[in-house]
Amino acid sequence: MRFAKVTERLSGLGSEKWAVHIEGKKRAALGEPMIFLSIGEPDAKPPTAILDVAEKQMRAGRTRYSEGRGEANARRALARLYSVQTGRAIHENQFIYLPGTQTALYAAMMTLVDVGDEVLMADPYYATYEGVIASAGGITVPVRVDPDHGFHLKAADLEKAITPKSRVLLMNTPSNPTGAVFTRAEIEKIGRLCEKHDLWIISDEVYATLTYGNTVFSSPFDVPELEKRTVVVSSISKSHAIPGFRAGWIAASEEFCDRCIPVTETMLFGSQAFLEDAMAFALDTHFPELDEMKRNYEARARALVAGLKASKKVSARMPEGGMFVMVDVRKTGLSGEAFATRLLEEEKVVTMPGESFGAGGSGHLRVALTVDEAQITEACRRIVSLAERVSFATSDLPAEKVRAIASSQMDSRHDLLNKLLDPE
């Protein structure tokens, strides 16, 4: 039977990236005790008041077909939020309500990218980006960022990657997986490049409320000169610990929204009005429990960084935002995938290999801050324990062999230790 080309473009860009997580879930279902640090699902409960509004509005009859752009009250709440953020008057017609950031990202990409167009993005990048770009027929152009300099994208490196086929820059700030947050100065410098080369900017800002220390969130949408070429995608999934609501949006120019609406209406026409009502309430209300959630993420990140300091083989730096930490395992001689696999099998800790997020994540693990500090500290102990065993096993091998083993794709993960110890 014949299938559409899109199925070929998406081959290998789906659940394979979550193989370690899926294996961990299987083992947990069989009774093995696991520490899960793999998926960015908030462990905090959402504010009860939001759930109450959703239930009240559902029972009040807000279950009928809704407006394709999103209900007016939801878009007005978004307009209030972004008017405060940008310091400019943002109109409700500059928003489209969609079920989550992923759907919004897909709609934005389908609106801007044709077959053969290039989409640039910092590498490492979120695991679904390649698939979203490929769906539209676009070509992914990863721009490597330096882990030793906080994974920040440099304008000079971006400019080297721009070609006549470049169409879009896909930004993510705060970044999943790296925790990097673009400064206003970095955004303005990169924005000037986008103006020079007439690039759109799609900015994934789902972690915008989660920044730490003195880090201040900034968006290209905040810069007046960049508003017309910026498409923000976001949701309340992480900010309000409510991913199951699938309550997200696009923020852009009215012209973009007018062009995008026919695209979104081929996927779905309207959403659940009672959930839009709950989102509008969430955006207009301050919740102390969400402040506590943010403080917990920051404390967990600090505990993780501190917990790895005892090792000379693994390390981590404090993220500037988001809910993940990148753990550097390069000094062990293993790839992130090999280390994550052994960590699962030998220490019962489930993480995401850095390679799931592009070549720029090689030699790293992405660790989610979604368990309490006690479990974070215990996971660190196990990570350090494995790192020391691996380092001892590889200490007498030639450096070339260590590198070859670290980068190889092994047919059987269980053969890894024997391969390391075999001098031949």
CATH number of the domain that 362 lies in?
3.90.1150.10
363 in Cβ contact with 330 (< 8 Å): yes
296 plus 274 within the same structural domain: no
Q: How far is CA 88 from the centre of its chain?
A: 28
266 plus 395 within the same structural domain: no
Domain limit, last residue, from 247, 265, 284: 284
254 plus 304 within the same structural domain: no
10 plus 56 within the same structural domain: no
190 plus 160 within the same structural domain: yes
Provide block-wise average pLDDT over 10 residues at a time, the chain (424 residues): 88 80 95 95 96 98 94 98 98 97 97 98 96 96 95 97 98 98 98 98 98 96 98 98 96 98 92 96 98 97 96 96 98 96 97 95 97 97 95 53 43 35 35
335 in Cβ contact with 407 (< 8 Å): yes
- β-pair partners for 250: 96, 233
What is the full DSSP assignment across 21-70? HHHHHHHHHTT---EE-SS----SPPPHHHHHHHHHHHHTTTTS---TT-
Sheet holding 118-123, edge to edge: 95-98, 248-251, 230-235, 200-204, 166-172, 118-123, 139-144
Domain limit, last residue, from 256, 284, 312: 284
331 plus 347 within the same structural domain: yes
317 plus 235 within the same structural domain: no
224 plus 307 within the same structural domain: no
The number of beta carbons lying within 10 Å of the beta carbon of residue 4 is 8
* Helix/strand/coil percentages in the chain, nearest 5: 50, 15, 35
194 token code pair = 């986008």
139 plus 224 within the same structural domain: yes
160 plus 208 within the same structural domain: yes
218 in Cβ contact with 184 (< 8 Å): yes
Task: Look at residues 333, 306, 317 and name the one whose alpha carbon lies nearest to residue 388.
Answer: 333
372 in Cβ contact with 300 (< 8 Å): yes
Q: List the domain range (segments joined by +) for residue 305.
A: 5-45+289-421
CATH number at residue 194: 3.40.640.10
Whose tokens are 């199925």? That residue is: 7
320 in Cβ contact with 211 (< 8 Å): yes
- The confidence score (pLDDT) of residue 393 equals 58
Burial 379-388 (b: 16+ CB within 10 A, else e): bbeebbebbb
Cα dihedral value 189, 191, 197, 199, nearest 10: 150
Task: Look at residues 327, 329, 348 and name the one whose alpha carbon lies nearest to residue 338.
Answer: 329
Which secondary structure element, helix H or strand E, spans residue 367, and what is its range?
strand 364-368
- The confidence score (pLDDT) of residue 407 equals 43
Cα angle at 372 between 370 and 374, to 5 degrees? 140
- The confidence score (pLDDT) of residue 394 equals 52
The Cβ-side half-sphere exposure at 211, using a 13 Å CA radius, reads 14
- The confidence score (pLDDT) of residue 16 equals 76
72 plus 184 within the same structural domain: yes
Number of domains in the chain: 2
What is the C-alpha to C-alpha distance for residues 101 and 242, in angstroms, rounded to an integer?
13
Query: Structure pTM?
Result: 0.90
Residue 359, helix vs strand vs coil: helix
275 plus 305 within the same structural domain: no
The number of beta carbons lying within 10 Å of the beta carbon of residue 12 is 12
Domain limit, last residue, from 258, 284, 310: 284
